[in-house]
Chains A and B, each alone.
Chain A
């Protein structure tokens, strides 16, 4: 691939004293600006693979290319200064303030103090930390805050490549979800080439442009987009690793916006009860959605329209469950299974988009 940023060619690592390789003739291409998640059970060599890219671990054989250059062609410390590194244990320097921690690589690169100071201020904002934390020591921060510092430190010298080893593994699920979302938003802006190691298939699916599924001994079982892996697992190992709910997992990759939603029985406030009733009959419903132009007002029973001149004279009830158009099908599913008739109303702000039914989700899944 011409625009590959990281390229592994038949890379093997056998640790001294081990009778079989931790990683065996692994070849892998990571495109420029691509986010690749390495996932697999313990012993699959995913962390070893990651650490070979910045030469924390030296391969036994094979070649690793970083930005068109053999990783071994430059001194390890020089290579590493152009590769951001974030690990689960974070590894902040306890004896240095947050500002000094973030400024580590610029300092190693010999930047002017003033330039470092400006860059640190920028990064603090970027990762969502308060500037007042800059003078504190790492032990004074919570786990989530420390990992934000870890990410800021990795980004400090604006390296083209980021290596991340279970970076959000040590924080609680709520903070993890937030850090994942924030990092994805950041990545959309920064477009770094990211290699991300995780043992959590859901995290891999959520984060990766492509997911590499590794088996014990560093065997690459499948390397593709999350959607294609979920739709067509290459073999039993991949299918088993994805789990029985891979269909539902796939739903989390499809934005609600991307599917066409039926309008259902709809009436505008200016419509007559007769035309509203015709809309209900067409659907076989005994209630109708009431709109004011594009705006969703609620719904009314057919019986409530009797004797009125205009639909607008009735008082619509609000829908108990609405789903935002920005949600994924997975989130929409969660919302509608909680309703009595398994139907959800999709809105974009207060604009009506349509009706989502369980049948529609089933159609999407089998597509």
Chain B
């Protein structure tokens, strides 16, 4: 047995080549899990941020609760949820979404609060209603800060999704778990490297998106 194990190289290129299809499948699972978590997290965070911005006193409890969620160990949270929601996508997403809330809410609120007072006052004085002021002035101007939060949340979630393989939801974690159980370093490495690569890819894609939706940040000030 030990002789057989030693015949396997540290990086088994043949195994990698044979499992390209498998990797592709796991990638899709990983992207879907991440995308769902960040999208749902964003919707919930915008809603909670609106509440926090409208009723300033609610900001402390809202961000405090999100902060507590953020500190729960992910394995512990999944283990705790399984008796209620089973080994399901729902369980995975409840956990993943929880981890996005703190980052997103903080950045949305900071982004909105960071809009210069003079801009808000001018908009009011021009005759913007509160609703249009929020959607047309404050939110667009908060985009760079909000997007910074979305990028951070997405990168965090990509890492966390590797854990959701524990509850049978696929993703790159499958490689890591299997590699661990078989003491097969190549498979573990593939899981780690793909996860890192995906995080970097998503991050730069979101950065591109941010530049596209906030074109005024791209141009450099001219002095005249």
Contacts and interface: CB of A to CB of B under 8 A. Distances in A.
B216 interface: yes
A77 interface: yes
Contact of B121 (A78, A79, A91, A136): A91
Contact of B126 (A105, A136, A140): A105
Interface in A130-178: 136-137, 139-142, 145, 153, 163
B81 interface: no
B141 interface: yes
Contacts of A80: 124-127
Interface in B114-135: 116, 118-129, 132
A142 B126 contact: no
Interface stretch (A81-89, A111-119, A210-218, A345-353): A81-89
Contacts of A126: none
A270 to B, nearest CB: 54
Interface stretch (A92-100, A180-188, A243-251): A92-100
A141 B118 contact: no
A56 B216 contact: no
A142 B121 contact: no
Interface size class of A (residues with CB under 8 A): 20 to 34
A20 to B, nearest CB: 25
Interface in A60-110: 77-81, 83, 85, 87, 89-96, 104-105, 108
Nearest to B124: A56
Contact of A85 (B125, B137, B140, B219): B125
A252 interface: no
B221 interface: yes
A54 interface: yes
Interface string B131-153: 01000010011010000000000
Contacts of B124: 56, 80
Contact of B118 (A87, A96, A105, A108): A87
**Residue with the greatest number of chain B CB neighbours at <10 A, chosen from A83, A90, A108:** A108
Contact of A91 (B119, B127, B215, B224): B119
A54 B125 CA distance: 7
A108 B219 CA distance: 27
Contacts of A96: 216
A102 B224 CA distance: 20
B141 A95 contact: yes
Contact of A90 (B122, B128, B140): B122
A347 B219 CA distance: 50
A95 B118 contact: no
A229 B216 CA distance: 48
Contacts of A87: 118, 121-122, 125
B223 A85 contact: no
A36 B126 CA distance: 21
B223 A95 contact: no
Nearest to B143: A95
A255 B116 CA distance: 43
B192 interface: no
Interface in B143-189: 143
B119 A92 contact: yes
B94 interface: no
A77 B132 CA distance: 11
B24 to A, nearest CB: 39
Contacts of B129: 77
Contact of A81 (B127, B214, B223): B127
A178 to B, nearest CB: 14
Nearest to A163: B125
Given A139-B221, A142-B224, A93 B125 contact: no
Interface in B193-224: 214-216, 219-224
**Residue with the greatest number of chain B CB neighbours at <10 A, chosen from A78, A139, A145:** A139
A108 B128 contact: yes
B127 A105 contact: yes
Contact of A137 (B140, B143, B216): B216
Contacts of A104: 126
Contacts of A145: 224
Given A80-B125, A91-B122, A105-B127, A137 B137 contact: no
A85 B119 CA distance: 12
Interface string A35-62: 0000000000000000000101000000
B126 A92 contact: no
A142 B223 contact: yes
Nearest to A139: B221
A163 B119 CA distance: 16
A78 B122 contact: no
A93 B137 contact: yes
Contacts of B223: 142
Nearest to B223: A142
A91 B128 contact: no
A93 B127 contact: no
B111 to A, nearest CB: 12
A85 B127 CA distance: 10
A89 B116 contact: yes
B214 to A, nearest CB: 7
Interface of B: 116, 118-129, 132, 137, 140-141, 143, 214-216, 219-224
Given A56-B121, A85-B122, A91-B116, 8 more contacts: A77-B127, A80-B126, A85-B126, A87-B118, A87-B121, A87-B125, A94-B216, A140-B219
